[in-house]
Structures are given as structure tokens and as C-alpha cells.
């Protein structure tokens, strides 16, 4: 599979909560990270999702927000993954931030250059990748 999404996390479904229209899917990765996705019931059925099933969670870099100081902050975003800025590549308008997670995974974020300055983002600094559950796409291998 080739895809333009920069973030790809292989894991297994560790929890599945179904509602009448949508479902919440928790994915546990080999590195110990957890991601939550909100998808339709139709997708749950079409993909044959169940606890224990291997899946791939995909997230576009433009759907990843970066936070540098989350102390005392409460968010509605279900996915807050804290790590260390591994690389910062600045462009004239935007920047790519790569956050290394403790379990070995990396998260790519595409944010504005101004945001990197305002947040004080630099290599080696702590940062949190914030991802809304609705921005996580689930794929299964045939």
C-alpha cells in the first residue's frame, strides 16, 4: 500500500465501543502507544473490525497539532502523544516537526513556521502530538 499520509501506526484493536451511528476504536501499537479513532458503524462492518484484529492507523501530518506545554490544559482531542522533537525542518511558510515517542514510533506534523517560533519548538525539546479521533483513518490488510 502506498499512501500520502506521513503517519502510519501498525497495531491491534484493544477496545471497540459501538454506538448506533459511530464507533470508537482503540488501537495499541507494538511500541505501547495507544490511538483512538472514531469511525462509522458501516466502516466497522466493512472492515470486519473486532478486538484483537491487526490494523494500520493513518494520520495526515496536516491533521497533527503540536503542543509544548500542556500542564493544566484539558482537550477534547483523544490522542495526546508526548515525546521529544527529533527534527525540525523550517520552510518559508510551514515547518515539519518529527516527534519521537518513547516506544520508538515517530509522528510527523506539518504546522506553520510562526507556530514553531511561538511554541519555542526546537530539536531535543519535549512536545506533544495532538490528534483528534476523527482524523485517524483505519486500514486493514487483505
Task: Judge residue 33's burial from the number of C-beta atoms within 10 Å of its C-beta, 0-12 exposed, 13-18 middle, 19 or more buried.
Answer: buried
Closest by CA position to 70, among listed 79, 59, 57, 61: 79
Span 17-75, pLDDT tens digits: 999 999 999 999 989 999 999 999 999 999 999 999 999 999 999 999 999 987 788 89
- pLDDT for residue 118 is more than 80: yes
Give the residue among 129, 137, 124 at the shortest CA–CA distance from 111. 129
pLDDT for the residue 48:
96
Mean pLDDT within 62-91: 93
Output the pLDDT for position 2. 83
Amino acid at each position: 500500500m502506498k499512501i500520502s499520509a506521513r503517519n502510519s501506526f501498525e497495531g491491534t484493536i484493544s477496545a471497540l465501543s459501538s454506538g448506533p451511528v459511530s464507533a470508537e476504536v482503540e488501537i495499541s501499537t507494538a511500541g505501547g502507544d495507544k490511538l483512538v479513532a472514531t469511525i462509522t458503524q458501516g466502516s466497522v462492518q466493512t472492515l470486519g473490525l473486532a478486538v484483537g484484529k491487526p490494523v494500520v492507523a493513518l494520520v495526515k501530518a496536516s491533521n497533527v497539532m503540536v503542543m509544548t506545554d500542556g500542564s493544566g490544559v484539558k482537550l477534547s482531542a483523544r490522542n495526546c502523544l508526548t515525546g521529544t522533537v527529533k527534527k525540525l525542518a523550517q520552510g518559508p511558510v510551514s515547518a515539519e516537526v518529527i516527534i519521537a515517542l518513547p516506544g520508538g514510533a515517530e509522528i510527523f506534523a506539518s504546522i506553520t513556521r510562526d507556530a514553531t517560533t511561538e511554541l519555542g519548538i526546537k530539536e531535543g525539546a519535549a512536545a506533544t502530538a495532538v490528534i483528534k479521533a476523527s482524523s485517524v483513518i483505519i486500514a486493514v490488510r487483505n
